[in-house]
Amino acid sequence: VIDMGQPEHSVVTTCAYCGVGCSFKAEMKGDQVVRMVPYKGGDANHGHSCVKGRFAFGYATHKDRIKQPMIRDAITDPWREVSWDEAIAFAAKRLKEVQGTYGRESIGGITSSRCTNEETYLVQKLVRAAFGNNNTDTCARVCHSPTGYGLKTTLGESAGTQTFDSVMESDVIVVIGANPTDAHPVFGSLMRKRLREGAELIVIDPRRIDLLKTPHLKDAQHLPLRPGTNVAIVNALAHVIVTEGLEDTDFIASRCDDKAYQAWREFILEERHAPEAVEAITGVPADKVRRAARTYAKAPNGAIYYGLGVTEHSQGSSMVMGIANLAMATGNIGREGVGVNPLRGQNNVQGSCDMGSFPHELPGYQHVADDAARARFEKSWGVKLDDEPGLRIPNMFDSAIAGTFKALYVQGEDIAQSDPNTQHVEAALKSLECLIVQDIFLNETAKFAHVLLPGSTFLEKNGTFTNAERRINRVRKVMPPVAGKEDWEVTQDLANALGYPMNYAHPSEIMDEIAGLTPSFTGVSYDKLEQLGSIQWPCNDQYPEGTPTMHVEDFPIGRGQFAITEYVATEERTTSRFPLLLTTGRILSQYNVGAQTRRTDNQVWHDEDVLEVHPSDAELRGIQDGDWLGVSSRSGQTVLRARISDRMLPGVVYTTFHHPGSGANVITTDSSDWATNCPEYKVTAVQVEKVSQP
Ligand code: SF4
């Protein structure tokens, strides 16, 4: 615990970690944070917090912080500390040279879900207006892009339907591919509270998550499916609901598109979707699937919560649509206690998607090919915009290796550690002629950079984050930026150096521009955020104070669209050479690639990634708890310490990726979701064997 005496004043701001978006009072002594106190007035957390938000803020003043811009001609050269002006001028000159030599499409920008809405908006504006192309993407590409695609296709909006508090009205809680007590701890605790009150729990996950150990839990159901078979099981659940007459026919008739429904019904009635028919695929006994389907469909209020165990698959988008199909078929949409609820990993995944950082969408999910939408942005920004979607992150890597993509601006994202198939990513980064990294630390990606621009932490800037329940929360500056600039100012300087004028005096002006161009944000302003505390979008003339529950009377696309979700087996198969399936996840005390939490006292709780191995697989290989294990896949190899655990099925191993070097992404492949290219982090065929200590 960091305690530096009595505070002199406090500032309310928002946690920089997960998608719960807890509000904290930063208690200050001068410019020093004395402690972070969970804020009782926080609409997402009501005074609760976890070990990350409360204790892991010390990274902001860690000695590793980059305080001075740095440049170098080649990545083999030493870094040279320079002024902000020199670094920005160097970056702009390089970008112009690259575009002059290789063309307008040869450069792009990536932003992070850890950045504020205003910063993200500016990065995509920089790319579109100053770079002149749509090569902008966000790290949401590698986590929840299938949520965006799947929910927009079926329900008409790329967002979850409920508030967190809505779970207190749920009778049945279905958790698919998520581990809320570790990854979203404050919401995980709220779920536990509701479960202790008597709600039923269904977990669909290869791993026995801690939620299943909730005290006084009523007859919890666990469907431990094989990694990569989500769509087979969601279709089987739907098959039971339809064949046993458990549908909500009134909801379907009044709210859903009949043609799409009839086509889906015909598809799902096929015997090949019966639980007995897919048992051999999923490994889950048919009677368990039948029971779970009945429990969910018969509940007065059934809510589904899901995480990256749904999205990070080659069929991530199909699975999201399959979940929406279940909710529509049972009428579990449009009131408290029900819904389809993606649990977003990072604090601003929802916001980074909302702000137009996808290569095919302007802010507010307006397609770049939509002439009317583009015209509004062209008028506001004073430029002609490209109507062709740009490159996604994996396409940028492939194009870099092919020699057509030559320069990249990365704000707040460590792509060399967090993206799959590290060897491929590093080869792409090495081939760039200009890599500009804006970050708070000299991260793994910075090893390949030519320009390093110091970033600012959440404590050093103003802005907003949007959490997993679409709640826009204020981020308030509590101390000056250690390198003298907030992140949005750096992007603005780069735009100006490239000849595209940006002249914002404060992030509130950026939000005013966002509100003017984004239909779901038209009623949002900093003044209203001060007045209401937080706002859940859509916030507009129809919903001036925001929208806690979505789709109450209708869907933004009129009627709900059932989608055909054909199960296709992943190409990542086990063989005699790679006989085990690796899947990945998170742990409570660490966050994402660990760049922040590893530089705080949280490090002592989890100082290395380990490989969980089932006792039967361990016995077969003579593995003891604590042994060093060589883990190899078709992509690469790493070494991890063994932890014998029966939380996984035999044949399945599990690890986290909080530490560089040893982490999972050295061995994950670059298979990805068919619709969005979200990587298939959750399924990698591997071999495991004992090795001597690395
Ligand atoms: Fe809340 Fe998540 Fe931060 Fe924990 S990490 S305090 S649950 S926002």
Q: Which of 14, 15, 597 to mutate to test the pocket of ligand 1 (most atoms within 8 A of CB)?
A: 15
Is residue 50 within 6 Å of ligand 1 at its C-beta?
yes
Q: State yes or no: pLDDT of 1 exceeds 50.
A: no
Give Cβ neighbours of residue 244 (< 8 Å, ≥ 6 apart): 293, 294, 297
Q: Which fold has domain 84-143+355-536?
A: Rossmann fold (3.40.50)
pLDDT number for residue 2: 47
Residue nearest to ligand 1 atom 6, measured at CA: 53
Distances (CA, A) of 675 to 131, 259, 325, 346: 26, 23, 18, 22
Report ipTM (2 d.p.). 0.99
Task: For residue 576, give both structure tokens.
Answer: 């005699």
Q: What is the pLDDT of residues 587-646, one digit of tens each?
A: 666 777 667 777 777 666 666 788 999 999 999 999 999 999 999 998 888 899 999 999
Distance CA 131, CA 135 (A): 9
Q: State yes or no: pLDDT of 503 exceeds 90.
A: yes
Is residue 242 within 6 Å of ligand 1 at its C-beta?
no
- Give the atom of ligand 1 at the shortest distance from the alpha carbon of 188: 7
Distance CA 277, CA 266 (A): 17
Residue nearest to ligand 1 atom 3, measured at CA: 53
Domain ranges of the chain: 9-61, 84-143+355-536, 145-342, 580-690
Exposure string (b/e) for 617-629, b if CB count within 10 Å is 16 or more? bbeeeebeeebeb
Q: State yes or no: pLDDT of 164 exceeds 70.
A: yes
Q: Into which CATH architecture does domain 9-61 fall?
A: Single Sheet (2.20)
Is residue 25 within 6 Å of ligand 1 at its C-beta?
no
Rounded (5°) CA angle 594-595-596:
90
Is residue 186 within 6 Å of ligand 1 at its C-beta?
yes
Q: What percent of the chain has pLDDT over 70?
A: 96
DSSP state string for 539-557: -SSSSTT--SSS-SS-BTT
Total Cβ atoms within 10 A of residue 1: 6
Q: State yes or no: pLDDT of 241 exceeds 50.
A: yes
Q: Which fold has domain 145-342?
A: Dimethylsulfoxide Reductase; domain 2 (3.40.228)
Is residue 132 within 6 Å of ligand 1 at its C-beta?
no
418 Cα: distance to centroid of ligand 1 (angstroms)? 20
pTM for this prediction: 0.92
Confidence of residue 450 (pLDDT cuts 50, 70, 90): very high
The Cβ-side half-sphere exposure at 374, using a 13 Å CA radius, reads 18
Is residue 21 within 6 Å of ligand 1 at its C-beta?
yes
Question: Residue 346's beta-bridge partner residues?
Answer: 18
Cβ-based burial of 259 (10 A; exposed 0-12, middle 13-18, buried ≥19): exposed
145 Cα: distance to centroid of ligand 1 (angstroms)? 22
Q: Which of 13, 20, 343, 597 to mutate to test the pocket of ligand 1 (most atoms within 8 A of CB)?
A: 20
Give Cβ neighbours of residue 449 (< 8 Å, ≥ 6 apart): 75, 435, 436, 437
Is residue 199 within 6 Å of ligand 1 at its C-beta?
no
Q: Which fold has domain 580-690?
A: Barwin-like endoglucanases (2.40.40)
- Give the atom of ligand 1 at the shortest distance from the alpha carbon of 21: 8
